[in-house]
Structure 1
Amino acid sequence: MASSSSSAADQEPLLQRSPSPTGSMKSYNSISKSREDDEEVSLGDINPPSRAVENDVLPETAVLGRNLGWSSAYILIMSRVIGSGIFATPGAIVRSVGSVGITLLLWIAGALISWLGLAISLEYGCMLPRSGGDKVYLEFVYRHPRFLASVLIAVKSVLLGFTASNCIVFGEYVLYALNREPSQFEGKILALGLLTVIVVIHSCFLKTGIFIQNVLGWLKIALAIFMVFTSLFVVLFRSNESTESTTSSIQIKTNGSYIWDGSVWNWGIISTAMFKVSYSYAGLSNVNNVLNEVKNPVKTLKSAATAALITSCILYLLVNIAYFLVVPIEEIKNSGELIAALFFERVFGAKVGRVLLPLAIATSAAGNVMVVTFSHARVVQEIARQGFLPFSEFISSSKPFGAPMGALITHYIPSFLVISIPAANIYSFILDVEGYPGTIYSIAGSAGLLWLRYKRPDLHRPYKAFLPAVLFSVFHSVAVVFAPFVPREGLNWKQHLSEVSYAFVGTAIILFGIGYWYVWTVWIPRRNGCTLEEIDATLDDGTTITRLVHVPIGSKLVSTTEPVTEDE
């Protein structure tokens, strides 16, 4: 899946081990169009693909095999979506925007915007059914300048692909359940312990890890439903009573003025809150990252992702309403990441509310960490297969336990470092830093889809995104990118810069990627009088990879098809 400087029509792999990639693509398209049920196309039906970028339209089975059916794919999405977001972010959102009304509008808007992004991911995923997600899509679209898209995706995935936020929530909720004073050190120890255990499980026990994350996924869905029914019970039977299980009577206010009291209509503040909402919906395209391991990838992707979007939208809206029905808004604003714990404490009292149910929420966060680690390691593995990371062959390999241990370790290191940062209230900053560059990449993906519609009508598209939705996604993402620079009322310029520092950090990471790309792929080869070229190779576990080699200008690249070992 290498980028190339040649045009799509005449691109050939550097090592001619199979017929022309374009020819393979047309063969696959003709097969796909004749199959109305979108069944998985066996690679035996077509010529074996090379690593050339045009062959991204061909399904590829991972060395690990296709271990994920429909239910596993659905839970892979739901466990990614329903993590710490619904249990931790509402307090920060209400504190920012000031009212129940705007908060609920943001969650509804977040669902609609997520649908736009999902439609784009579905078109890409069905058109290019390979593991890697945005890596595959942006490489396919943006082939000039050569290697730039690949390097930027690699930098983003390694530097911002950490699983820190849900680990932190896990530590906080465990301490809360144990009725201990908040301790930054103890919380970080618990977070790091969770991360370490999950990486070990996914590295050494592939199918066990999948089973555990499926169980945790269904448990967190059940927990969200339980919260909704609990709030309804409070409204119907206890809204006017003082009970022993609450510190004060539960007051339910539903009049219109209460809903909009304290609203802050500032686009900069609302956009920052939208980052948190969007992050809570993030993960609807999680299956796109692991399509090489999904049975009937196109058919499963379309149905599982749509079902997950509908489910998560309903649960998010109802759980937010449950919070507002039970917990006074001022307590919500001051709750930090512990809003769900306050909810259960007010309903069930200190004994149950502070022990059992916070532990259940910690378990939910752990499930999120499991699926994020599982899927992101596959993205890192695909990047390594392309040759864009140090120790690429080790990271690409599935040895010794039939799982991407090298990629999991690569994912583990930045997550470990971020969790270890000795700073309080790091959670919200992490969400914003992760979200800002992601919005810029979203613009590139949406615009790229429009470009492909115009330049590549020959591509088979089992799913087509609604064109106005794609256009709206572009304009919305552009607005969100520039929103942090809108002046905020009541803040001087120093305070404002402090509030939007995440935008500068995210931008700096992208600029670092561009600088790294130029030095590595342009300046060094030019200085040494050579070009950076790609050759196909196969590891001894059967994983196909791309090697990047320096070839003196004017020399011919010698072809080889022999397998290589990781230490060669």
Structure 2
Amino acid sequence: MSTSYGEDSPLLGGADTASIRSSSIYKPPTDDEEGPSSPPEFGNIEDDVLPEESVLGRNIDWKSAYIIAISRVIGSGIFAVPGVILSSVGSVGLSLLVWILGAVVVACGLTVSLEYGCMLPRSGGDKVYLEFTYPWPRFFASTMIAVQAVLLGFTASNCVIFSQYVHFVFDVEARDFSKKALAVGLLTVITIIHGVWYRAGIRIQNFLGWIKVGLVVFMVLSALYVVILRPEQEDVDIRPRKIQSWDGLWDGSDWNLGTLATSLFKVFYSYAGLSNLNNVMNEVKDPVRTLKSVSLTALVTACLLYLLANLAYFAVVPIEDIKESGQLVAALFFERTFGPNIGKRFLPLAVALSAAGNVMVVTFSTARLNQEVARAGFLPFSRYLSSSKPFNAPLGGLIVHWIPSVLVIILPPSSEVYSFILEVEGYPGQIFALATSIGLIWLRYKRPDLKRPFKAWIPAVIFRIILCFSLLAAPFFPPSHPKPGGLFYATYAIVGVGILVFGVIYWLVWTIILPRLGGYRLEEKQEVLDDGTAITVLTRVPNDVD
């Protein structure tokens, strides 16, 4: 069961997740027993509960699940972020240190997601986990997740990278309008594919996902080719860079806390897809076992490829060129390695396709999360947005995802749009990471009876909590070398906090102030849509009615 408001209700509402705590434990019947053949209601998330199955069925096997994770991870991050990070922190040594520290933090966060995901194997990710952990104040966790999912659940960054690399490949002048138009066009085409041709969309994103993995491996082997064989070409200098001394690796380092925080947010973005599978668990075959093996495999794959890719950049491309490359560091790498024809045309085009594949995977999973938000009553016209009609796909969730993504692509200045997107996504994410980490420790104490197929290492969770507090404070420390004419250094943090404050005010107005002024209370009414989707409509009941 999920929750939905009536069509005449304003935005927001949510399931009364207090029922989660008091519900009876559902145990699947044995061969000698009679019992319900379908999973229990959505609220009954307890020990030994059967995973909820999507009306779309379980179509995601291990290979598709791995692609959903690794293809979300390997997107624009490794092809665009290294140049931006090196430009920010100033030195090769500190850049590599940021990537290593980021990987450690991501691994700690992954253990939290794995414990929650194996304990509560339902689609929705943090939405399910926070509703279960924090049922009171009523509707609060649900409201904050809904605000984050709808207003910050965009996939604009990879659309921007796709546009930039396509312009680079075809030597088209990268005007502001053309870059944004191409980015919006990509997002629109992908939304239509996932919304109309569900299975074809999965096949296409699987194909593009393997291209990504192959491209990073090819890039690493190319760097070894340059370093070991030292080829010479007349039209380009592809001699490997000299390995610096230990002291030289740290020349120009900027140890400012704010600078390190924004750099870490970019690393977190590059690893963001490791928990992507948690959002679509209702469609995964053998969800618990698949989640554990896929997530850990994707983590090891991503860490190894990212470290090798950074070393490849530093071995081939001059450091100053990397700093000035912005998001085009991979294009410079291929051009210096293979010359202006193959290196500038074919391989950067493959990077563009990789970014497009990332957009497909993010759109696929985020649409499912938006559909869960709609089922839980946090969107207007939730009956329509919760349904899988008319194409047996979450078209409503896709539309909800498309709108903020387009706005984020169009509104910020083109010169700063990529970094701004990564930072404004990353900052509120630390608040939710803090909430899930603290909640996991609380559940260990409060609910030791829950079945946990995977248990996070508590020191790793505590380390994540401490770092979350540090990253939340860091943006308000002025940078050592502010960019003239750029955005205020803490703009992304202010925007992120502003969105969450909006969520708090919204929750107060809808669930506290209006019911008291109107003399009514919210009660739940169960419904099942024509396509089999179970929802609960929250209705307004006068206080004088028993």
Interval containing the TM-score (normalised by the shorter chain): over 0.9
Partners of 2:325 and 2:18 in 1: CA distance: 55
Partner of 2:16: 4
2:494 paired with 1:504: yes
2:481 paired with 1:479: no
How far apart are 1:548 and its partner, in Å?
1.4
2:123 paired with 1:121: no
2:341 paired with 1:339: no
Q: 1:451 is matched by which residue type in structure 2?
A: W
Match of 1:362 among 347, 352, 356: 352
Partner of 1:297: 287
2:479 paired with 1:467: no
How far apart are 1:254 and its partner, in Å?
3.5
Partner of 1:206: 198
Q: 1:70 is matched by which residue type in structure 2?
A: W
Q: Which has the higher contact order (CA 8 A, sep 6+)?
A: 2
How far apart are 1:46 and its partner, in Å?
6.3
Partners of 2:269 and 2:458 in 1: CA distance: 24
> Which stretches of structure 1, 4 residues or longer, exceed 4 Å deviation after superposition?
5-9, 43-48, 247-250, 494-497
Partners of 1:44 and 1:537 in 2: CA distance: 22
Gaps of 5+ in 2: 3-13
Partners of 2:18 and 2:144 in 1: CA distance: 20
How far apart are 1:249 and its partner, in Å?
4.7
Partners of 2:42 and 2:106 in 1: CA distance: 32
How far apart are 1:107 and its partner, in Å?
1.0
**Cα deviations by residue, 1:37-78 (Å, 9 ceiling, x for unpaired):** xxxxxx976674123254695401100000000010000000
- Judging changes above 3 Å, is the alpha-carbon distance between structure 1 residues 329 and 391 closer, same or farther for their aligned structure 2 residues? same
Partner of 1:279: 269
SS in 1 for 2:171: coil
SS in 1 for 2:377: coil
- Judging changes above 3 Å, is the alpha-carbon distance between structure 1 residues 352 and 47 closer, same or farther for their aligned structure 2 residues? closer
Match of 2:441 among 440, 445, 450: 450
Partner of 2:377: 387
How far apart are 1:7 and its partner, in Å?
7.1
Q: 2:476 is matched by which residue type in structure 1?
A: F
How far apart are 1:507 and its partner, in Å?
0.3
Partners of 1:248 and 1:226 in 2: CA distance: 17
Partner of 2:25: 23
SS in 2 for 1:548: strand
- Judging changes above 3 Å, is the alpha-carbon distance between structure 1 residues 359 and 490 closer, same or farther for their aligned structure 2 residues? closer
How far apart are 1:23 and its partner, in Å?
3.0
Number of residue pairs matched by the alignment: 530
Partner of 1:226: 218
Q: 1:73 is matched by which residue type in structure 2?
A: A
Partner of 1:183: 175
**Cα deviations by residue, 1:381-435 (Å, 9 ceiling, x for unpaired):** 0011111111111110000111001111111111111112261221100100000
Q: 1:545 is matched by which residue type in structure 2?
A: I
**Cα deviations by residue, 1:135-157 (Å, 9 ceiling, x for unpaired):** 00000011111001101100111
Q: 1:299 is matched by which residue type in structure 2?
A: R
2:207 paired with 1:215: yes
Gaps of 5+ in 1: 12-20, 32-42, 557-568
**Cα deviations by residue, 1:413-458 (Å, 9 ceiling, x for unpaired):** 1111111226122110010000000011100010011111111111
2:391 paired with 1:401: yes
Partners of 1:490 and 1:366 in 2: CA distance: 34
The alignment-based identity, stated in percent, is 56
Partners of 1:500 and 1:113 in 2: CA distance: 22
Partner of 1:439: 430
Partners of 2:440 and 2:238 in 1: CA distance: 54
Equivalent positions of 1:232-271 (< 5 A) are 232-238=224-230, 242-247=232-237, 249-271=239-261
How far apart are 1:501 and its partner, in Å?
0.9
Partner of 1:172: 164
How far apart are 1:491 and its partner, in Å?
5.8
Q: 1:280 is matched by which residue type in structure 2?
A: S
Partners of 2:129 and 2:487 in 1: CA distance: 34
| 8 Å CA contact retained: 1:231, 1:325 | yes
**Cα deviations by residue, 1:320-347 (Å, 9 ceiling, x for unpaired):** 0000000011000000110000001111
| 8 Å CA contact retained: 2:226, 2:316 | yes
2:169 paired with 1:159: no
| 8 Å CA contact retained: 1:192, 1:416 | yes
Q: 1:486 is matched by which residue type in structure 2?
A: F
- Judging changes above 3 Å, is the alpha-carbon distance between structure 1 residues 46 and 470 closer, same or farther for their aligned structure 2 residues? farther
- TM-score for the superposition, normalised by structure 2: 0.93
SS in 2 for 1:398: coil
Partner of 1:193: 185
Partners of 2:236 and 2:485 in 1: CA distance: 39
Match of 2:516 among 512, 526, 544: 526
Q: 2:24 is matched by which residue type in structure 1?
A: T
Q: 1:480 is matched by which residue type in structure 2?
A: L
| 8 Å CA contact retained: 2:121, 2:288 | yes
Q: 1:447 is matched by which residue type in structure 2?
A: I
- Judging changes above 3 Å, is the alpha-carbon distance between structure 1 residues 442 and 422 closer, same or farther for their aligned structure 2 residues? closer
Match of 1:101 among 93, 96, 112: 93
| 8 Å CA contact retained: 2:42, 2:52 | no
CA-based RMSD: 2.2
| 8 Å CA contact retained: 1:245, 1:345 | no
Partners of 1:108 and 1:450 in 2: CA distance: 25
Select between 104-113 and 213-222 the one with higher mean Cα deviation. 104-113
Partners of 2:35 and 2:398 in 1: CA distance: 31
| 8 Å CA contact retained: 1:433, 1:503 | yes
